[in-house]
Amino acid sequence: MTGYAVTTRETDAGTLTVELKSVNSRFLDLQFRINDEFRAFEPVLREAIMGRVNRGKVECRLSFGRKAATGGVQNLSAELLDALSKMQAQVKQHFPDAAALTINELLRWPGVIADAEASQEALQAEVQALINDALGAFIDSRAREGAALQAMLISRIDEMEAIVHRITPLIPQAIAQFQQKATERMKEALGVAASNGGPATVSREEALERIRQEVTLYGIRIDVAEELSRLSAHLSETRHILKKGGQVGKRLDFMMQELNREANTVGSKAALKELSDASMAMKLLIEQMREQVQNLE
C-alpha cells in the first residue's frame, strides 16, 4: 500500500530526519537513501521496518543537519589536539620546511570541537527512537488507506452477492420454460400426424419420456447451482477476512482466484443471456478487487 511519514529529532550535534514512503508492491522491497557516514545505521533501520511492514516498495531516507557553530565558548577535544601535535612533530622530522597547522585549520579539523560531534552510540539510539516514531506515523497512514480499500472491496462483494441472488431463481425458471416448450412442440408434432391420418410414430407415454429426457439433459447442461453456492461461500469468506483484519493480502489473493474460477464456469454454462451478462459483470468486479488486493498486506 502507499504510505508516507516524516519525523525529525533534535540532537546535541544536529537534526536527524527520517522519511518513509511506499508504493504498491506484492512483496516487501526496501530501498535506503543514507549518507555514507551513517551507512552503519542501515541494519538498524532495516530491522525496524521489517518488524512492522510486510508488503510494499518502501523507501527510507535518513538525513542529518549539523548544528552551526555558535559564538559561545566551545569545548575542544584535548586528546585529538595532542594527537595532531604528535603527528605534526613526526611530519616535521621528515619535512622540516613544512608549514605548521594554523589555528583556523585546527578548529576546522573534524572532532576538534567536541560538542559539534556526537558519539556513534548516542546517534544510533537517536536513530532507533526516530525510526520507531516514523514507523508509527507511517503505519497509521497505511491503515487509513487500508480502511478505504476495505470499504471499496466490501462494496464489490455486495454487488456480486446481489448478482448471485438475482440469477439463482433463473435456473429452475429456465428449465420449466424449456419443459413447457418441449411439451408444446411434441404435442404439436403428434397433433399434426393425427390430423393427416397417418399412424403415430410414438405413443403418448414415449413422448412424455422423451420430453423428460430432454428436460433432464438441458437441466444438467445449464445447472450452475453448485457454482453459485460456492460463489456465495467464497464471498462470505472474503467478507470475513476483510472484517477480521490482520495480514490478509495473500489470503485474499487466493480468494480472488477461486471467485474467478466459479464466475468463469457460470459463463461457460450460460444458456441464458442473463447468466452470460452476470458472469461478465462478476468477472469485472473480481478484476477490480484483484487489482486492489495486491496492495493490501
Residues of each domain in the chain carrying CATH 3.30.230: 3-69+120-145
The tens digit of pLDDT for each residue in 159-189 reads: 999 999 998 887 777 777 767 777 777 666 6
How many percent of the chain have pLDDT more than 90? 27
Q: Measured over all CA atoms, what is the biggest interatomic distance in the chain, rounded to whole angstroms?
A: 139
User: Which spans in the chain are helix H?
Assistant: 42-52, 78-94, 103-108, 120-167, 170-195, 204-222, 225-244, 249-268, 273-293
Name 34's bridge partners. Answer: 62
Segment among 2-11, 14-23, 160-169, 213-222 with least mean pLDDT = 213-222
Other beta carbons within 10 angstroms of residue 48's beta carbon come to: 19
Residues of each domain in the chain carrying CATH 1.20.140: 146-293
Q: How far is CA 34 from the centre of its chain?
A: 26
Q: Which residue has the higher pLDDT, 200 or 176?
A: 176
How many percent of the chain have pLDDT more than 70? 80
Nearest Cα residue to 127 out of 23, 39, 192, 30:
39
Segment among 69-83, 131-145, 150-164 with least mean pLDDT = 69-83
pLDDT band at residue 201 using 50, 70 and 90 as cut-offs = low
Q: So what's the pLDDT on residue 43?
A: 92
Whole-prediction pTM: 0.59
Residue 203 has pLDDT above 70, yes or no: no
The tens digit of pLDDT for each residue in 32-64 reads: 999 887 888 999 999 999 998 888 889 999 988
CB 250 within 8 A of CB 294: no
**Phi then psi dihedrals of residue 33, to 5 deg:** -120, 95
Q: 146-293 domain in CATH 1.20.140?
A: yes
Q: So what's the pLDDT on residue 72?
A: 47
Q: Assign a CATH topology to domain 3-69+120-145.
A: Ribosomal Protein S5; domain 2 (3.30.230)
